Amino acid sequence: MESKTVNVPKISCGHCVMNIKREVSEVPGVKSVEADAATKQVTVQWEAPADWNKIAAALSEAGYPAAE
pLDDT band, very low/low/confident/very high, at 68 (cuts 50, 70, 90): low
Complete edge-to-edge strand list for the sheet that includes strand 41-46: 2-7, 41-46, 30-36
pTM listed for this prediction:
0.92
Fold of the CATH domain 2-61: Alpha-Beta Plaits (3.30.70)
pLDDT bracket for residue 51 (50, 70, 90): very high
Average pLDDT over residues 28-47: 97
What gap in Å lies between CA 49 and CA 21, rounded to an integer? 18
